[in-house]
Amino acid sequence: MARRNSSSNSGGFLFKTGIFAALAGLAFFLFNQFGGKKSNQPIDEKPPIEISNGQPKTDVGTPQPPTESQVPEEIFPAASGEVVRHTWYTLGYSEDHEQAEWVAYELTRDHLNENWAERPNSFRPDPEVDTESATPRDYNSSGYDKGHLCPAADMAFDAAAIDETFFMSNMSPQVPAFNMGIWRELEELTRDWARRFNHLYVVTGPVLSQPGLGQIGFSKVTVPSYYYKVLLAPDQQKAIAFILPNQVSEKRVTDYACSIDKVENATGIDFFPRVLKGLGEELEGSLDKDAWPINSKRYQERVKVWNVKR
C-alpha cells in the first residue's frame, strides 16, 4: 500500500509540472506574437498620422493631360507681366491686380462641334503662377462673380481643357448681372463667329489701366471698371474689338464694338504684333460691324431674362 501511495504522489507531481510547463510555453509564444514586435521600437515612437488637407486624393493611375501648350505664340500680345502657359490658353498675369491682364487662345469650329464635357466648377489657385494667384476665398461675400476670361464653354471639347479654365488666374471680379448678361451674350456671339469663320484668335481681359471699383479679399483683387475682347479671323482678315463697362446693360453688344487700336490705347497692350504686320496692321484701325452679325433673339433674351435672373 505504501508503494502505491508513493507512486501516485509522484505521478501527480509530474502531471502538475507538465501543465505548468505547457502554460509557460504558451505565455512565451503569445508574448512573442503580440508583444515582442514593439520591443524593437523606441518607447516614444508612434506610427505616422495622415493629415488630410481637405482635397481629394489623386489616383496616380489617372492619365494626365498634355503639358505642352497648344496656343500659338504668334497670337500673344506684347505686354508686361508673367506669362503663364496652360494647355489650351495662355495668360499674362498681373501680380499688382491678382488676375490676368490678358488671356489668349484659338477658338475653332471643330472644337465647338465636339460633345461638351461636364462643367466641373473646380475653382482653385493656379499652381503655375510664380507669385501665387488669388484664391476662391477672396471672392467670398464680395458681391462679385468669379467671371471667366477664357470661358468654360470655349474649352468644353475636352474634360482637361474645361477644367483648366477654373484656375483663379482666369477669374476676374464681375458684377453678377454683367457676367450673366452682356458678357455672356458676347461669349456666345464669339462662338457663333468662330463657327462662321472656322477659327478665331481671341484675346480678352480686364482694362487694368483705368481706375477700378475697389478691391476684394485678402489678396486685394482689383475689381475692373471695364473689360475688353479682341477678335481676329485670320483667314478672312477681319477683326473686331469690344470694351464693355462692368455693369448691367440693355444696349446691344455692337454698341460697344470698336477698333483694335482703341483697345490698345485704353489698355496699353499691343495685340497680335506678330500677326498684324504690313497690310494687316490696317485691320487694327478699322471696324466693320456688318462682318460680325449678331443674334437679335439672344439680345432680347438677355434684356428680358438674363439681366434680371440674378
Q: Which residues are catalytic?
A: 148
Tens digit of pLDDT for each residue in 134-186?
Answer: 999 999 999 999 999 999 999 999 999 999 999 999 999 999 999 999 999 99
Distance in angstroms (rounded) separating the CA atoms of residues 200 and 229: 12
Q: What is the pTM of this model?
A: 0.77
* Long-range contacts (CB closer than 8 Å, 24 or more residues apart) made by 126-132: 126/84, 126/93, 126/167, 126/168, 126/169, 126/170, 128/84, 128/85, 128/86, 128/167, 128/169, 129/82, 129/84, 129/93, 129/169, 130/82, 131/82, 131/93, 131/95
CATH number for region 73-309: 3.40.570.10
Nine-digit cell at 86?
A: 496652360
Tens digit of pLDDT for each residue in 13-43?
Answer: 444 445 555 555 555 544 444 443 333 333 3
Check if the beta carbon of residue 117 is closer than 8 Å to that of residue 158. Answer: yes
pLDDT at 159: 94
Q: Where are the domains of the chain?
A: 73-309
DSSP calls for 126-186: -TT-TT----GGGGTTSS-EEEESS-GGGGTTSHHHHHHTTBGGGEEEE-HHHHTTHHHHH
